[in-house]
Structure 1
Amino acid sequence: METFRIKSIVSKITFSIIFSVFVSSITSFKSSAKSNDADSTVINIDKRNQTLLNSKNPSRSLKEDLQELFQKNGMNLDDDTWKGIRRVVNSELSKDTVLVITQNNKSINVAINAKTEELNRSSATNQSTRREYNINNNSNVKIGGGGVHVKDGRDEVHVSWNGVVVKDGNDEVKVILKDTAKVNRRDQGFSSRSGFNIYFGFNGFSNTGSISGIYNSKDFELSPFGSRYFGFGWTRSGMISKGAKAALKISYGLEVSWNNFMFENNNYLVKGTNNVAFENYKDSKGDVIPLSRNKLTVANINIPVMPYVAFKKGSVVTYVAAGGYVGYRIDSYTKTKEEDSGDKNWNHSSFYLNNLRYGLAFELGLKNFPDLFVNYDMNKLFQDGRGPGISGVSFGIRL
């Protein structure tokens, strides 16, 4: 049944488009008839015999005659135009009909005579100015600012910028064409988290009280401004429910993030036999080399899921979101930079980090200001027994 409806939609849309081409030329027909008569030709067809009136070669088909006349006028009789003409010729219409076809500033008026008599140019003009074309006793096509409407008995097809609506008696099938921007505008102006997002912020450690035993808490001290967070991703939103002033939505997406932990002290992180450790950065002679940069970077790919309350656009608070995320480590490395020579060194390793990352997320949208975000990891940064039981936390702005 659906396949039949789709085929019906396509055939009727094709025919409607043909007629829209005809009607689009109506406004230019009156002026061109006066100033460009040489570019306009009238073709008369005998509807009853389905032949061209005054044809020079009666043995030729109607299509062959039309192709020759179209070519003489610098135009092309394509399949859609021929199908439209043939449909009118084969219809049960008992009145004379005129189709106005325009290509490249050239026009042809195809006069289809229900009776074997020629129409003059003035009658063609009068007929072509109509906005409703009768196709048979129960069919018509209407074209206006709202789109194209085709009616054939109990069947109706309406084509507009938003899509297609097909009615078969009491049954109705809709094919709606809407882009994301239009859908969002029609959500009564509520704010949305959808789109491409960029995150800038800072990183820190939580559960620092777990740093004990073989670890020195000073080694895990972080530079406040050097421990930066960066991420980007794509997010989509769906409506759950909405009221007059607020709506409950849910967003989901895919993000890539980099957590940079910049250590304050000269000791740098290494992967030992059984656990991570901090060591002095030394040269080949065993002398300690001062470091101007000493950090651990962890890259993750994350899937966030955020239910949120969206408010009307123009509100001071545009939305409040609270949800969670789950991620997977795709890379990790340390970077050191010698203070005197400026030499840099990267060491890629797992450092006994947990591959899986999950936590809670909170966001606050503000009018005329970047959105604020906080991510709090619920699991530990290092594997159990391989490092201290610290977790990551990040916060900043969302663009």
Structure 2
Amino acid sequence: MKPVLFAAGLLAFATAATTAQARTLAPAAPTDTIVVRLPNKAIMTLVVRDAKQLRELPKYHLDSLVARLDTYIQRADEAAKTAKTDRVTLEFFPNQDAPGQGLPEEVRITTRKNRSSGERTNRVDVALSKVFGLQAKIDANGTKMYSTGNNETRRARRDSLNEANRERQSTRTDLILDLGLNALANRGSGAPELRTLGSRYVNIGLNTFVRLGGKKSPAYVVFGPEFAFNNYMLEGNNKWVNLNGQTSVVPETNGRQYQKTKLATSTFTVPLMVQFKFREKDASTGHSRRGFTIGAGGFVGYRLGSWTKLKYYEEGNTYKDKDYGPYNLTDWQYGLQGVIGYRTLQFFAKYNLNELFREGQGPQAQTVSFGLRLLK
């Protein structure tokens, strides 16, 4: 196809798009398509996200682009003549060459050799802005189809639209996984020192989000079932002992050296929080995406089980002793919790208002858990 014919075709398309500006357009779906068939059998397709994008088309001064395309295509043809491959791609940036004139951001011309006839075919990609563009693929028969955006752009647009549609839902459920550490607060008589990295906290659950207000409201009520596992690992050569209805921490006296000595619990809990999930605009796609998140509320739960575990070496062998029992732990759990994060990175903190042990039957302390929250 001659470069002049292609330039004339693009000019005709620009005229058709400008005429469409004067029409009253109904709100368009994200995949609305305008097809222009030119007399020389060339076909052009413009895909726009909505009517607003179509009305913005004249500001890109496609008539000025037409004057430049002849030079661009000539340079692409010259490069193809001396190329060692059957495909050559050149990129041009009209808006950078002449800033302030409303030209498209990028023009990409791919020239391929037709192996059967020896002729070359030109494919012209015009990126009008970062959010939409025009791709025209022209061959000898003028019958091949084409669309807008490269694979990476289309994938980013699709993911952004899916995320936006998901955020517009009034109710949804997320799988959460909390990974963190435990500490003891308000320690009283007999409360032990915990080994920080060994006192791990794991929580898995299903959180249901119910939107408060309209479809763009950032406020949600959050609740759902969760299963939490708390480890309380002791520092030093100490161990948890339950004797005569009293749970306490005592040092080992028979010379045995412990590698691990911990108390562990499993708990079923139900949170109730108010959470705000704000959104921000993605500069690369023009769509909104998840931004800052903050939430606070409480939780209530019940202890399902508890046990102690001792790990030690003796006479060249490794032993792990596990003993199940209530250990005078408080059955009902309740407290405060909060989350804060940005995009997919979130942190949590939980503070138990209940004492870890029943009154007068164990060390006085309350549990604090904190760490990283993973969402799916």
- For 1:384, the equivalent position in structure 2 comes to 359
Q: Are 2:208 and 1:236 equivalent residues in the alignment?
A: yes
Mapping of 1:1-399 within 5 angstroms? 185=165, 187-188=167-168, 194-208=173-187, 210-211=188-189, 215=190, 217=191, 220-242=192-214, 246-281=217-252, 287-312=254-279, 317-340=291-314, 341-369=317-345, 371-399=346-374
Q: How many residues align?
A: 205
Cα distance in 1 for partners of 2:203, 2:181 equals 11
Cα distance in 1 for partners of 2:232, 2:240 equals 11
Per-residue displacement from partner, 1:292-332 (whole Å, max 9, x unpaired)?
Answer: 00111011010111111111155674321101110100010
Cα distance in 2 for partners of 1:320, 1:301 equals 24
Q: CA offset at residue 248 of structure 1?
A: 1.3
Contact 1:194 1:251 survives alignment (8 Å):
no
Q: CA offset at residue 374 of structure 1?
A: 0.2
Residues 388 and 279 of structure 1: CA distance in aligned 2, closer, same or farther (over 3 Å): closer
Cα distance in 1 for partners of 2:169, 2:347 equals 21
Per-residue displacement from partner, 1:67-114 (whole Å, max 9, x unpaired)?
Answer: xxxxxxxxxxxxxxxxxxxxxxxxxxxxxxxxxxxxxxxxxxxxxxxx
Cα distance in 1 for partners of 2:312, 2:244 equals 26
Name the amino acid aligned to 2:165.
Answer: R
C-alpha RMSD of the superposition: 2.6
Residues 194 and 364 of structure 1: CA distance in aligned 2, closer, same or farther (over 3 Å): farther
Cα distance in 2 for partners of 1:271, 1:391 equals 19
Cα distance in 1 for partners of 2:363, 2:233 equals 17
Q: CA offset at residue 207 of structure 1?
A: 0.4
Contact 2:248 2:363 survives alignment (8 Å):
no
Normalised to the residue count of structure 2, the TM-score between the two structures is 0.50
Cα distance in 2 for partners of 1:291, 1:193 equals 47
Identity %: 28
Identify the range of structure 1 (343-352 vs 316-325) with the bigger mean alpha-carbon deviation: 316-325
Where do 5+ consecutive residues of structure 2 fail to align?
1-160, 281-287
Q: CA offset at residue 184 of structure 1?
A: 7.5
Cα distance in 1 for partners of 2:321, 2:229 equals 18
Contact 2:232 2:264 survives alignment (8 Å):
yes
Residues 353 and 184 of structure 1: CA distance in aligned 2, closer, same or farther (over 3 Å): farther
Cα distance in 1 for partners of 2:313, 2:200 equals 20
Contact 1:280 1:288 survives alignment (8 Å):
no
- For 1:48, the equivalent position in structure 2 comes to none
Q: CA offset at residue 185 of structure 1?
A: 1.9
Per-residue displacement from partner, 1:4-57 (whole Å, max 9, x unpaired)?
Answer: xxxxxxxxxxxxxxxxxxxxxxxxxxxxxxxxxxxxxxxxxxxxxxxxxxxxxx
Q: CA offset at residue 204 of structure 1?
A: 0.3
Contact 1:271 1:351 survives alignment (8 Å):
yes
Residues 195 and 186 of structure 1: CA distance in aligned 2, closer, same or farther (over 3 Å): closer
Cα distance in 1 for partners of 2:301, 2:271 equals 8
Cα distance in 2 for partners of 1:242, 1:297 equals 44
Residues 203 and 226 of structure 1: CA distance in aligned 2, closer, same or farther (over 3 Å): same
Cα distance in 1 for partners of 2:369, 2:255 equals 32
Normalised to the residue count of structure 1, the TM-score between the two structures is 0.48
Name the amino acid aligned to 1:353.
Answer: L
